[in-house]
Amino acid sequence: MRLVPDYIEQLEPYKAGKPIDEVQRELGLVKVTKLASNENPLGPSPKALAAIRHVLPQSHLYPDPGGFRLRTALAERFRVKNENIILGAGSEGIMGSIVRTFLHDDEEALTSEGTFIGFFVLARSQGIKIRTVPLKNFGYDLVAMAAAITPKTKIIYLANPNNPTGTIFHREEFETFLRQVPDHVLIILDEAYYEYCQHVTTYPDSQFFRKDNVITLRTFSKAYGLAGIRVGYGLAHEDLIKQLLKVKFPFEPSSVGQAAAIAALSDTAFLQKTLTTNAKGIQQLSRGLKDMGIRYTPSYANFLLTEWDSPEVVADTYNALLQRGVIVRPLTQFGLPTCLRISVGRQAENATFLKEMLAILSA
Protein backbone atom coordinates (compact mmCIF):
# COMPACT_ATOMS: atom_id res chain seq x y z
CA MET A 1 0.00 0.00 0.00
CA ARG A 2 1.38 3.41 -1.00
CA LEU A 3 1.55 6.11 1.65
CA VAL A 4 0.71 8.89 -0.82
CA PRO A 5 -1.82 8.29 -3.63
CA ASP A 6 -0.89 9.20 -7.20
CA TYR A 7 -3.33 12.11 -7.37
CA ILE A 8 -1.58 13.78 -4.42
CA GLU A 9 1.90 13.05 -5.80
CA GLN A 10 0.90 14.73 -9.06
CA LEU A 11 -0.94 17.65 -7.45
CA GLU A 12 0.39 21.16 -8.03
CA PRO A 13 -0.20 23.20 -4.86
CA TYR A 14 -1.83 26.61 -5.01
CA LYS A 15 0.80 29.32 -5.42
CA ALA A 16 -0.20 32.69 -4.01
CA GLY A 17 1.19 36.01 -5.15
CA LYS A 18 4.61 36.85 -3.75
CA PRO A 19 4.41 38.55 -0.33
CA ILE A 20 6.04 41.96 0.15
CA ASP A 21 8.49 40.68 2.78
CA GLU A 22 9.81 38.01 0.44
CA VAL A 23 10.46 40.47 -2.37
CA GLN A 24 12.18 42.90 0.00
CA ARG A 25 14.35 40.11 1.36
CA GLU A 26 15.27 38.61 -2.01
CA LEU A 27 15.91 41.84 -3.90
CA GLY A 28 17.03 44.14 -1.10
CA LEU A 29 14.24 46.61 -1.80
CA VAL A 30 12.78 49.02 0.73
CA LYS A 31 9.63 50.13 -1.09
CA VAL A 32 7.47 47.45 -2.71
CA THR A 33 4.05 47.90 -4.34
CA LYS A 34 1.96 44.74 -4.29
CA LEU A 35 -0.76 44.52 -6.94
CA ALA A 36 -0.91 40.74 -7.14
CA SER A 37 -3.54 39.27 -4.82
CA ASN A 38 -6.74 41.31 -5.26
CA GLU A 39 -6.51 42.66 -1.71
CA ASN A 40 -8.34 45.78 -0.53
CA PRO A 41 -5.75 48.59 -0.71
CA LEU A 42 -7.60 50.55 1.99
CA GLY A 43 -6.99 47.85 4.59
CA PRO A 44 -9.71 46.63 6.98
CA SER A 45 -12.78 48.58 7.98
CA PRO A 46 -12.15 50.83 11.03
CA LYS A 47 -15.14 49.19 12.73
CA ALA A 48 -13.58 45.77 12.11
CA LEU A 49 -10.29 46.91 13.64
CA ALA A 50 -12.13 48.16 16.73
CA ALA A 51 -13.95 44.83 17.04
CA ILE A 52 -10.65 42.95 16.75
CA ARG A 53 -9.10 44.99 19.56
CA HIS A 54 -12.17 44.36 21.71
CA VAL A 55 -12.15 40.57 21.29
CA LEU A 56 -8.40 39.91 21.50
CA PRO A 57 -8.34 39.58 25.33
CA GLN A 58 -10.69 36.59 24.94
CA SER A 59 -8.38 34.81 22.48
CA HIS A 60 -7.73 32.03 25.02
CA LEU A 61 -11.35 30.91 24.54
CA TYR A 62 -12.55 28.80 21.62
CA PRO A 63 -14.81 30.61 19.14
CA ASP A 64 -18.52 29.88 18.87
CA PRO A 65 -18.46 26.80 16.58
CA GLY A 66 -21.86 27.71 15.17
CA GLY A 67 -20.99 31.37 14.58
CA PHE A 68 -24.46 32.35 15.78
CA ARG A 69 -23.99 36.14 15.85
CA LEU A 70 -22.35 36.32 12.43
CA ARG A 71 -24.84 33.93 10.85
CA THR A 72 -27.68 36.00 12.34
CA ALA A 73 -26.22 39.23 10.94
CA LEU A 74 -25.86 37.63 7.51
CA ALA A 75 -29.37 36.14 7.69
CA GLU A 76 -30.81 39.58 8.43
CA ARG A 77 -28.81 41.17 5.61
CA PHE A 78 -29.86 38.64 2.97
CA ARG A 79 -33.32 37.80 4.36
CA VAL A 80 -32.71 34.11 4.85
CA LYS A 81 -32.66 31.83 7.89
CA ASN A 82 -29.58 31.01 9.94
CA GLU A 83 -30.02 27.46 8.71
CA ASN A 84 -29.31 28.66 5.17
CA ILE A 85 -25.82 29.87 6.08
CA ILE A 86 -22.46 28.18 6.67
CA LEU A 87 -19.25 29.91 7.72
CA GLY A 88 -15.67 29.02 6.91
CA ALA A 89 -12.06 30.18 6.75
CA GLY A 90 -12.59 32.17 3.59
CA SER A 91 -14.79 30.90 0.78
CA GLU A 92 -12.10 28.28 0.05
CA GLY A 93 -12.72 26.74 3.49
CA ILE A 94 -16.35 26.17 2.57
CA MET A 95 -15.38 24.97 -0.90
CA GLY A 96 -13.22 22.35 0.77
CA SER A 97 -16.18 21.17 2.85
CA ILE A 98 -18.33 20.96 -0.30
CA VAL A 99 -15.75 18.82 -2.09
CA ARG A 100 -15.34 16.50 0.91
CA THR A 101 -19.11 16.16 1.36
CA PHE A 102 -20.39 15.72 -2.17
CA LEU A 103 -17.60 14.50 -4.49
CA HIS A 104 -16.66 10.82 -4.25
CA ASP A 105 -15.44 7.80 -6.22
CA ASP A 106 -15.77 8.26 -9.99
CA GLU A 107 -17.99 11.35 -9.80
CA GLU A 108 -16.76 14.33 -11.77
CA ALA A 109 -16.61 18.10 -11.52
CA LEU A 110 -17.19 20.49 -14.40
CA THR A 111 -15.87 24.01 -14.78
CA SER A 112 -14.13 26.34 -17.20
CA GLU A 113 -10.53 26.73 -18.17
CA GLY A 114 -8.97 29.95 -16.89
CA THR A 115 -10.88 30.16 -13.63
CA PHE A 116 -9.97 30.10 -9.92
CA ILE A 117 -7.17 27.60 -9.41
CA GLY A 118 -8.19 26.89 -5.81
CA PHE A 119 -11.15 24.78 -6.96
CA PHE A 120 -8.88 22.61 -9.11
CA VAL A 121 -6.52 22.00 -6.18
CA LEU A 122 -9.35 21.05 -3.80
CA ALA A 123 -11.09 18.68 -6.25
CA ARG A 124 -7.87 16.99 -7.39
CA SER A 125 -6.79 16.52 -3.78
CA GLN A 126 -9.74 14.09 -3.56
CA GLY A 127 -8.71 12.28 -6.74
CA ILE A 128 -11.69 13.75 -8.61
CA LYS A 129 -11.67 14.12 -12.40
CA ILE A 130 -12.37 17.66 -13.61
CA ARG A 131 -13.84 18.32 -17.04
CA THR A 132 -13.30 21.80 -18.47
CA VAL A 133 -14.54 23.85 -21.40
CA PRO A 134 -12.56 26.72 -22.96
CA LEU A 135 -13.16 30.35 -22.09
CA LYS A 136 -15.00 32.45 -24.66
CA ASN A 137 -13.68 36.01 -24.89
CA PHE A 138 -12.09 35.43 -21.46
CA GLY A 139 -15.50 34.62 -19.96
CA TYR A 140 -17.50 31.51 -19.09
CA ASP A 141 -19.14 29.79 -22.06
CA LEU A 142 -22.30 28.54 -20.37
CA VAL A 143 -23.67 27.08 -23.60
CA ALA A 144 -20.61 24.85 -23.97
CA MET A 145 -20.66 24.05 -20.28
CA ALA A 146 -24.26 22.88 -20.37
CA ALA A 147 -23.40 20.65 -23.34
CA ALA A 148 -20.47 19.16 -21.38
CA ILE A 149 -22.61 17.80 -18.53
CA THR A 150 -22.40 14.00 -18.37
CA PRO A 151 -24.06 11.34 -16.18
CA LYS A 152 -20.95 11.50 -13.96
CA THR A 153 -21.13 15.26 -13.40
CA LYS A 154 -21.78 15.93 -9.70
CA ILE A 155 -20.57 19.51 -9.18
CA ILE A 156 -20.33 22.51 -11.50
CA TYR A 157 -18.08 25.35 -10.40
CA LEU A 158 -18.85 28.88 -11.64
CA ALA A 159 -17.09 32.08 -10.56
CA ASN A 160 -19.00 35.29 -11.24
CA PRO A 161 -17.11 37.61 -11.62
CA ASN A 162 -14.45 35.21 -12.80
CA ASN A 163 -11.02 35.26 -11.21
CA PRO A 164 -8.60 35.92 -12.91
CA THR A 165 -10.33 37.44 -15.97
CA GLY A 166 -12.79 39.84 -14.28
CA THR A 167 -15.63 38.96 -16.67
CA ILE A 168 -19.21 38.09 -15.73
CA PHE A 169 -22.01 36.10 -17.27
CA HIS A 170 -25.38 37.83 -17.32
CA ARG A 171 -28.83 37.02 -16.00
CA GLU A 172 -30.42 35.75 -19.21
CA GLU A 173 -27.59 33.33 -20.02
CA PHE A 174 -27.52 32.09 -16.43
CA GLU A 175 -31.28 31.46 -16.42
CA THR A 176 -30.94 29.48 -19.65
CA PHE A 177 -28.05 27.51 -18.17
CA LEU A 178 -29.96 26.67 -14.98
CA ARG A 179 -32.79 25.13 -16.97
CA GLN A 180 -30.30 22.67 -18.50
CA VAL A 181 -28.68 21.52 -15.24
CA PRO A 182 -30.21 18.36 -13.70
CA ASP A 183 -31.52 18.80 -10.16
CA HIS A 184 -29.03 16.28 -8.74
CA VAL A 185 -26.03 18.31 -10.00
CA LEU A 186 -24.73 20.80 -7.46
CA ILE A 187 -23.74 24.28 -8.67
CA ILE A 188 -21.08 26.15 -6.70
CA LEU A 189 -21.57 29.82 -7.52
CA ASP A 190 -18.45 31.63 -6.33
CA GLU A 191 -19.30 35.30 -5.83
CA ALA A 192 -16.12 36.38 -4.03
CA TYR A 193 -16.22 39.71 -5.91
CA TYR A 194 -19.97 40.19 -5.64
CA GLU A 195 -19.81 43.61 -3.98
CA TYR A 196 -17.92 45.12 -6.93
CA CYS A 197 -20.63 44.32 -9.48
CA GLN A 198 -23.85 44.20 -7.46
CA HIS A 199 -24.91 47.48 -9.10
CA VAL A 200 -24.85 45.95 -12.61
CA THR A 201 -28.47 45.55 -13.65
CA THR A 202 -27.84 42.37 -15.66
CA TYR A 203 -25.74 40.68 -12.95
CA PRO A 204 -27.46 37.45 -11.83
CA ASP A 205 -27.24 37.96 -8.07
CA SER A 206 -27.72 34.42 -6.80
CA GLN A 207 -30.06 35.66 -4.08
CA PHE A 208 -32.69 35.82 -6.81
CA PHE A 209 -31.91 32.28 -7.99
CA ARG A 210 -32.42 30.34 -4.79
CA LYS A 211 -32.58 26.78 -6.02
CA ASP A 212 -32.11 23.62 -4.01
CA ASN A 213 -28.95 22.69 -5.92
CA VAL A 214 -27.13 26.05 -5.82
CA ILE A 215 -24.56 26.99 -3.16
CA THR A 216 -23.44 30.61 -3.17
CA LEU A 217 -19.98 31.42 -1.80
CA ARG A 218 -18.94 34.90 -0.67
CA THR A 219 -16.10 36.29 1.38
CA PHE A 220 -14.94 39.10 3.63
CA SER A 221 -11.46 38.92 2.08
CA LYS A 222 -11.98 41.32 -0.81
CA ALA A 223 -14.29 44.32 -0.51
CA TYR A 224 -14.33 44.12 3.31
CA GLY A 225 -10.53 44.03 3.58
CA LEU A 226 -10.21 40.98 5.85
CA ALA A 227 -8.07 38.68 3.66
CA GLY A 228 -5.60 37.99 6.47
CA ILE A 229 -8.33 36.96 8.92
CA ARG A 230 -10.05 34.40 6.64
CA VAL A 231 -13.83 34.65 6.88
CA GLY A 232 -16.20 33.41 4.22
CA TYR A 233 -19.83 32.32 4.09
CA GLY A 234 -22.08 30.14 1.99
CA LEU A 235 -25.79 30.46 1.25
CA ALA A 236 -27.83 27.40 0.32
CA HIS A 237 -30.88 25.25 1.04
CA GLU A 238 -30.90 24.18 4.68
CA ASP A 239 -30.64 20.49 3.73
CA LEU A 240 -27.32 21.16 1.96
CA ILE A 241 -26.06 23.27 4.86
CA LYS A 242 -27.00 20.51 7.30
CA GLN A 243 -24.77 18.04 5.44
CA LEU A 244 -21.89 20.51 5.13
CA LEU A 245 -21.93 21.21 8.86
CA LYS A 246 -21.11 17.54 9.47
CA VAL A 247 -17.69 17.90 7.82
CA LYS A 248 -16.91 21.57 8.48
CA PHE A 249 -13.97 22.17 10.79
CA PRO A 250 -15.70 23.07 14.08
CA PHE A 251 -13.81 26.20 15.16
CA GLU A 252 -13.61 28.23 12.00
CA PRO A 253 -13.77 31.12 11.52
CA SER A 254 -11.83 32.26 14.58
CA SER A 255 -13.39 34.43 17.26
CA VAL A 256 -11.38 37.38 15.92
CA GLY A 257 -12.63 36.67 12.41
CA GLN A 258 -16.26 36.41 13.47
CA ALA A 259 -16.13 39.67 15.42
CA ALA A 260 -14.35 41.50 12.60
CA ALA A 261 -16.83 40.25 10.00
CA ILE A 262 -19.87 41.32 12.03
CA ALA A 263 -18.42 44.82 12.40
CA ALA A 264 -17.32 45.03 8.75
CA LEU A 265 -20.79 44.03 7.58
CA SER A 266 -22.23 47.04 9.40
CA ASP A 267 -19.67 49.52 8.02
CA THR A 268 -21.52 50.69 4.93
CA ALA A 269 -19.44 53.88 4.68
CA PHE A 270 -16.21 51.88 4.39
CA LEU A 271 -17.71 49.56 1.80
CA GLN A 272 -18.82 52.54 -0.29
CA LYS A 273 -15.36 54.08 -0.03
CA THR A 274 -13.87 50.77 -1.18
CA LEU A 275 -16.17 50.59 -4.21
CA THR A 276 -15.50 54.23 -5.14
CA THR A 277 -11.73 53.75 -4.81
CA ASN A 278 -11.91 50.62 -6.95
CA ALA A 279 -13.99 52.25 -9.69
CA LYS A 280 -11.53 55.14 -9.92
CA GLY A 281 -8.61 52.69 -9.88
CA ILE A 282 -10.08 50.59 -12.70
CA GLN A 283 -10.50 53.76 -14.74
CA GLN A 284 -6.95 54.94 -13.95
CA LEU A 285 -5.35 51.62 -14.86
CA SER A 286 -7.52 51.09 -17.96
CA ARG A 287 -6.64 54.52 -19.31
CA GLY A 288 -2.94 54.01 -18.63
CA LEU A 289 -2.86 50.55 -20.21
CA LYS A 290 -4.74 51.79 -23.26
CA ASP A 291 -2.31 54.70 -23.69
CA MET A 292 0.59 52.21 -23.66
CA GLY A 293 -1.10 49.92 -26.16
CA ILE A 294 -1.40 47.03 -23.67
CA ARG A 295 -4.35 44.73 -24.28
CA TYR A 296 -6.67 44.28 -21.28
CA THR A 297 -10.10 42.86 -20.52
CA PRO A 298 -12.76 45.17 -19.02
CA SER A 299 -13.31 44.06 -15.44
CA TYR A 300 -16.24 43.78 -13.04
CA ALA A 301 -13.94 43.03 -10.09
CA ASN A 302 -10.93 44.68 -8.40
CA PHE A 303 -8.28 43.66 -10.92
CA LEU A 304 -7.51 43.79 -14.64
CA LEU A 305 -6.37 40.99 -16.92
CA THR A 306 -3.68 42.04 -19.40
CA GLU A 307 -2.77 40.00 -22.48
CA TRP A 308 0.72 39.70 -24.00
CA ASP A 309 2.26 38.15 -27.10
CA SER A 310 3.88 35.10 -25.51
CA PRO A 311 4.66 33.38 -22.20
CA GLU A 312 8.24 34.65 -22.57
CA VAL A 313 7.07 38.26 -22.74
CA VAL A 314 4.91 37.65 -19.65
CA ALA A 315 7.87 36.24 -17.72
CA ASP A 316 10.15 39.10 -18.80
CA THR A 317 7.57 41.75 -17.92
CA TYR A 318 6.78 40.17 -14.55
CA ASN A 319 10.47 39.94 -13.62
CA ALA A 320 11.23 43.46 -14.82
CA LEU A 321 8.39 44.85 -12.68
CA LEU A 322 9.59 42.76 -9.72
CA GLN A 323 13.08 44.22 -10.00
CA ARG A 324 11.47 47.65 -9.82
CA GLY A 325 9.50 46.73 -6.70
CA VAL A 326 6.10 46.10 -8.27
CA ILE A 327 4.45 42.70 -7.74
CA VAL A 328 1.78 41.56 -10.22
CA ARG A 329 0.44 38.08 -10.96
CA PRO A 330 1.47 35.87 -13.89
CA LEU A 331 -1.31 33.46 -14.77
CA THR A 332 0.42 30.34 -16.07
CA GLN A 333 -0.95 28.31 -13.17
CA PHE A 334 -4.46 29.47 -14.11
CA GLY A 335 -3.97 28.13 -17.64
CA LEU A 336 -3.44 31.61 -19.11
CA PRO A 337 0.32 31.72 -19.81
CA THR A 338 0.12 34.88 -21.96
CA CYS A 339 -1.62 36.94 -19.30
CA LEU A 340 -0.74 39.05 -16.25
CA ARG A 341 -3.30 40.13 -13.65
CA ILE A 342 -3.01 43.59 -12.10
CA SER A 343 -4.87 44.22 -8.82
CA VAL A 344 -6.29 47.68 -8.19
CA GLY A 345 -4.36 49.65 -5.56
CA ARG A 346 -4.55 53.17 -4.20
CA GLN A 347 -4.13 55.98 -6.72
CA ALA A 348 -0.41 56.34 -5.95
CA GLU A 349 0.17 52.57 -6.21
CA ASN A 350 -1.58 52.41 -9.57
CA ALA A 351 0.51 55.36 -10.73
CA THR A 352 3.71 53.59 -9.64
CA PHE A 353 2.78 50.51 -11.67
CA LEU A 354 1.97 52.59 -14.76
CA LYS A 355 5.20 54.60 -14.45
CA GLU A 356 7.36 51.47 -14.12
CA MET A 357 5.46 49.70 -16.89
CA LEU A 358 6.08 52.65 -19.24
CA ALA A 359 9.78 52.66 -18.31
CA ILE A 360 10.04 48.94 -19.13
CA LEU A 361 8.31 49.37 -22.50
CA SER A 362 10.49 52.38 -23.31
CA ALA A 363 13.80 50.66 -22.45
Q: Are strands 295-297 and 214-219 parallel, antiparallel or unpaired?
A: unpaired
Cβ pair 147, 134 in contact under 8 A: no
Show pLDDT as tens, one digit a residue, over the chain (363 residues): 778 777 777 777 777 777 788 878 887 888 889 999 999 999 999 999 999 999 999 999 999 999 999 999 999 999 999 999 999 998 989 999 999 999 988 999 999 999 999 999 888 888 899 999 999 999 999 999 999 999 999 999 999 999 999 999 999 999 999 999 999 999 999 999 999 999 999 999 877 767 789 999 999 999 999 999 999 999 999 999 999 999 998 899 999 999 999 999 999 999 999 999 999 999 999 999 999 999 999 999 999 999 999 999 999 999 999 999 999 999 999 999 999 999 999 999 999 999 999 999 997
Cβ pair 205, 198 in contact under 8 A: yes
Q: Among the residues of 45-154, which ranges form H helices?
A: 46-55, 68-78, 90-102, 117-124, 142-147
Cβ pair 87, 67 in contact under 8 A: yes
pTM of the model: 0.93
Q: What is the pLDDT of residue 26?
A: 80
Beta-sheet strands, E only, within 128-283: 129-133, 153-159, 186-190, 214-219, 232-235
Q: How is residue 136 annotated by DSSP?
A: B
Domains of the chain: 6-43+269-362 (3.90.1150.10), 46-267 (3.40.640.10)
Q: Are strands 232-235 and 85-88 parallel, antiparallel or unpaired?
A: antiparallel
Q: How many CA atoms lie within 13 A of 319 on its CB side?
A: 6
- Rounded to whole angstroms, the Cα distance separating 48 from 259 reads 7
- CA 168 to chain centroid, in Å, comes to 13
Determine the Cα angle at 303 with ends 146 and 216, to 5°.
45
